[in-house]
């Protein structure tokens, strides 16, 4: 019996980790992958550091919530811009100035908080903390460049990046709470050191860096503008071809005749080639995007409310460990969820995981001790990463393949905006009613988000009962 259990565990570990180990044995990959994670430390640490430091020096959660909301909105706006510039000019060319701007802004921010300057000065500085290069996107770009046409390898590499991201949050959250309680200067200094070390590891690895548009245009002897126009034309034709294939596959899956499918597919090709787009805003997509807004809102509201609850309980230094439990649990959920080939319908998995996360967070209102919240996080965190995976997979069913990036972008944008709104609203209620007021906001947002998700139940269930278009 014991031998059988040992063999099962060994087989499970082999299935989960062997593929990841093969990727990291590729020369130079470990260096830029780990470097990207280290350089990403501002993501888990800056928001919590600002909240704890502002509350300590100003005694105001409303101000802390507004500052973190502004930072999140600035990041949502700036991140796509930095991504476009990186594609055009190269990773090092854009990343180095961004790091300099972020370092200057972080230094100014912590100095002004300690000096207790007028809040309007903090409002002016905090948007510049969004100048964090998209290390995760750049790391994924390098993996795609290395593995090229190896689709299975690319998918595994994306999962590996997700695991490293969860590990970053698991480490960053407790560090931020401990260091910020000691000193805001210490927390920002540690974050700055991580940015520099991670950037050096990542940017000095030149052999895996994808070529920029400028470099590729120079190699072909044309101007960057001519190169972009040519690539835009190729992308336009590719979108039209994809739209044609999607339409034909969908109609055949619905039982339409070959003649009907060919006629409608040709029309889809011509419309896409002419730049005409059909609306993607179905009831299912609206429900998912609204749900992702609520997901971001109640999770950010929960973060600032937990900090307030811990402060009232004289346990502020332990808040990071509570968030780390959520990240560790989510990390384990991601590993296990990705290792299994699921036969349960997607819509059932989506609603189950979403209900566990939303209803679990709603119970924070009843918690009487910080460790109770930590245990709840450990339980529901297992469904956090699968919730995101399921949401991403729903996009494959709810929008045409040619509009997939657009649908995913709307999900991400709604989540970021929701996070900004949640922290700002919770900050106001915490100042008026304490942490209990913050948890009331969390509960209301979580339940509302779950109800909205069920508004699109009919289309989500119907759309996921047919195969993904790429599998037809």
Q: If we measure between CA atoms, which residue out of 421, 153, 398, 434 comes closest to residue 289?
A: 398
Topology of the domain comprising 11-210: Growth Hormone; Chain: A; (1.20.1250)
Topology of the domain comprising 280-472: Growth Hormone; Chain: A; (1.20.1250)
* Residue in the structure block whose two tokens are 């997509």: 285
pLDDT in tens, 214-261: 888 888 888 888 887 887 787 778 777 877 887 787 777 777 788 888
408 pLDDT band (50/70/90 cuts)? low
pLDDT number for residue 447: 93
How many other CB atoms sit within 10 Å of the CB of residue 365? 17
pLDDT in tens, 204-217: 988 888 888 888 88
Question: What SS3 class is residue 444?
Answer: helix
User: Which is more confidently placed, 348 or 405?
Assistant: 348
Please state the pTM of the whole predicted model. 0.72
Distance between CA atoms of 132 and 111, rounded to whole angstroms? 20
Matching fold, domains 11-210 and 280-472: yes
Lowest mean pLDDT segment, chosen from 110-119, 303-312, 331-340, 341-350: 331-340
330-343 burial, b for 16+ CB within 10 Å, e for fewer? bbbbbbebbeeeee
**Where are the chain's structural domains?**
11-210, 213-273, 280-472
- In order, the DSSP letters of 278-342 are -----HHHHHHHHHHHHHHHHHHHHHHHHHHHHHHTT-GGGHHHHHHHHHHHHHHHHHHHHHS--
């Amino acid at each position: 019996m014991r031998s059988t259990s040992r063999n099962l565990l060994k087989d499970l570990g082999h299935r989960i980790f062997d593929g990841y180990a093969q990727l990291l044995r590729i020369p130079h990959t470990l260096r830029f992958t780990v470097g990207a994670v280290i350089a990403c430390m501002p993501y888990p640490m800056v928001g919590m550091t600002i909240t704890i430091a502002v509350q300590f020096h100003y005694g105001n959660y409303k101000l802390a919530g507004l500052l973190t909301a502004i930072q999140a909105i600035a990041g949502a706006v700036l991140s796509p811009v930095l991504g476009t510039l990186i594609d055009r000019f190269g990773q090092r060319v854009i990343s180095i100035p961004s790091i300099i701007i972020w370092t200057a802004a972080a230094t100014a921010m912590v100095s002004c908080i300690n000096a207790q300057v007028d809040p309007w000065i903090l409002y002016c500085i905090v948007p510049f903390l969004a100048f964090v290069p998209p290390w995760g996107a750049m790391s994924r770009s390098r993996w795609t460049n290395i593995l090229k046409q190896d689709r299975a390898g690319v998918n595994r590499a994306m999962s590996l990046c997700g695991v490293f991201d969860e590990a970053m949050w698991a480490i960053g959250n407790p560090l931020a709470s401990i260091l910020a309680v000691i000193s805001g200067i210490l927390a920002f200094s540690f974050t700055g050191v991580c940015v520099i070390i991670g950037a050096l590891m990542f940017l000095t690895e030149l052999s895996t860096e994808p070529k920029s548009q400028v470099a590729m245009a120079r190699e072909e002897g044309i101007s960057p503008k001519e190169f972009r126009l040519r690539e835009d034309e190729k992308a336009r034709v590719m979108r039209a071809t994809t739209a044609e294939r999607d339409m034909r596959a969908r109609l055949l899956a619905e039982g339409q005749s070959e003649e009907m499918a060919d006629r409608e597919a040709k029309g889809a090709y011509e419309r896409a080639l002419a730049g005409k787009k059909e609306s993607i805003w179905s009831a299912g997509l609206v429900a998912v995007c609204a749900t992702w807004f609520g997901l971001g809102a109640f999770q950010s509201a929960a973060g600032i409310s937990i900090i307030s609850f811990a402060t009232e309980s004289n346990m502020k230094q332990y808040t990071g460990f509570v968030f780390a439990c959520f990240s560790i649990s989510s990390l384990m959920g991601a590993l296990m969820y990705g290792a299994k080939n699921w036969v349960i319908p997607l819509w059932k998995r989506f609603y189950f995981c979403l209900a566990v996360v939303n209803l679990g967070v709603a119970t924070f209102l009843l918690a009487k001790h910080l460790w109770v919240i930590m245990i709840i996080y450990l339980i529901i965190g297992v469904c956090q990463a699968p919730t995101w995976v399921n949401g991403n997979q729903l996009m494959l069913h709810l929008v045409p393949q040619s509009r997939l990036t657009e649908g995913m972008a709307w999900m991400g944008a709604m989540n970021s905006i929701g996070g900004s709104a949640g922290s700002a609203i919770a900050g106001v209620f915490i100042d008026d009613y304490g942490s209990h007021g913050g948890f009331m906001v969390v509960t209301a947002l979580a339940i509302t988000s779950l109800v909205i998700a069920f508004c699109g139940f009919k289309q989500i269930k119907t759309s996921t009962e047919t195969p993904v278009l790429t599998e037809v």
